């Protein structure tokens, strides 16, 4: 099992040493749409890695009514709500049609984005084709099931702890 110390070392030696100023870590949570083979973004969190600050998170409204989902999709959404990210289907305050606009505004001067997971990197690339997006798993970040985690109950999947004037990521899971 990968320890947080090993993950911290990878983070400090690779990501924090990236030379550009406008580099962000992004996390995405949402739901896979089986019938349409698409991903529905619910929450997107951004953190600039070279500046002291808090993550910025956007929570989007659902793009369609619950009734339009298949039974299989509803079952999967219930599981994700209760066992994975804790974000409810009907939560959110930003209309879903604003997703592209929010991404374009927030990433206007971004040089590179780090994200965990190939699927998340591909989803982001569909919306941000001119932005360099890197999967941290290719840089040695272990799978979540191999990282010792802290369990929390609030809606943020990546929290960054300030330690020795540098951000150290702690992957968080929901109970």
**Which pLDDT value is given to residue 18?**
60
The residues, any chain, with a CB within 8 Å of residue 108's CB and separated by 6 or more, are: none
Is the entire prediction scored with pTM above 0.75? no
Tokens of 26: 């992004």
Say yes or no: domain 4-164 is CATH 1.10.3720.10.
no
**Which pLDDT value is given to residue 159?**
39
Tokens of 20: 């550009």
Per-10-residue mean pLDDT for the chain, 175 residues long? 58 59 84 80 85 78 92 89 85 93 87 87 90 84 58 37 36 34
**Which pLDDT value is given to residue 66?**
93
Burial of 80 by CB count in 10 Å (0-12 exposed, 13-18 middle, 19+ buried)? Answer: buried
Helix/strand number for the chain, H first, E second = 4, 8
């Amino acid at each position: 099992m990968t320890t947080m110390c090993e993950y911290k070392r990878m983070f400090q030696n690779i990501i924090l040493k990236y030379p550009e100023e406008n580099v962000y870590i992004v996390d995405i949570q949402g739901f896979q749409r089986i019938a349409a083979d698409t991903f529905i973004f619910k929450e997107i969190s951004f953190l600039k890695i070279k500046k002291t600050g808090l993550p910025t998170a956007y929570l989007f409204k659902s793009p369609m009514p619950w009734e339009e989902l298949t039974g299989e999709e509803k079952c999967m959404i219930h599981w994700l709500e209760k066992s994975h990210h804790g974000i409810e289907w009907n939560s959110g305050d930003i209309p879903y049609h604003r997703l592209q606009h929010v991404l374009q505004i927030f990433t206007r001067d971004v040089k590179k984005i780090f994200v965990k997971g190939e699927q998340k990197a591909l989803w982001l690339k569909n919306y941000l084709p001119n932005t360099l997006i890197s999967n941290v798993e290719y840089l040695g970040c272990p799978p979540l099931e191999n990282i010792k985690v802290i369990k929390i109950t609030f809606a943020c999947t990546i929290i960054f702890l300030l330690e020795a004037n540098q951000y150290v990521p702690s992957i968080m899971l929901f109970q």
